[in-house]
Amino acid sequence: MADSGEGIGNVPEHERILQEIESTDTACVGPTLRSVYDDQPNAHKKFMEKLDTCIRNHDKEIEKMCNFHHQGFVDAITELLKVRTDAEKLKVQVTDTNRRFQDAGKEVVVQTEDIIRCRIQQRNITTVIEKLQLCLPVLEMYTKLKEQMSAKR
């Protein structure tokens, strides 16, 4: 890149100017760029070459970072697809389990209703037995009366 002795002296100056451009506020770039044009006659061309080299280096760094992060992105998407597959399987399992619980619950409801009906019948039978036991003395007296009437006493 250095064609002559004066070009070699300008390379560090160009690097300093590039560093200043990269590290300063955009409002201060104007005076820095003017110093390139105020220098020697071929300084502008050499500065542009240095600037192109700097741009290529930055492009390479950006590409490396993108490639690095791209692989991470691809890995994350792959992992998400696996998780989605697992989530779909889990959803199917949960739905199946829910259906089986619902079916089992229906059986329990039917059996519970049967038990309730049996308990009501049992309570009714107990009530009838109690009431009939209250009537037993009357029936016994009626039976005795009937016997006495047949015996004509």
Q: Are 137 and 143 in contact (CB under 8 A)?
A: no
pTM of the shown model: 0.40
Distance CA 48, CA 13 (A): 13
Residue 129: pLDDT above 90?
A: yes
Task: Using only the alpha carbons of the chain, give its radius of gyration.
Answer: 51
Residues 6 or more apart whose Cβ sits within 8 Å of residue 37: 43, 44
The helix/strand/coil state of 39 is coil
The helix/strand/coil state of 44 is helix
Residue 1: pLDDT above 70?
A: no
pLDDT tens profile 33-45: 666 666 666 777 7
Residue 2: pLDDT above 60?
A: no
Chain CA centroid to CA 27, Å: 46
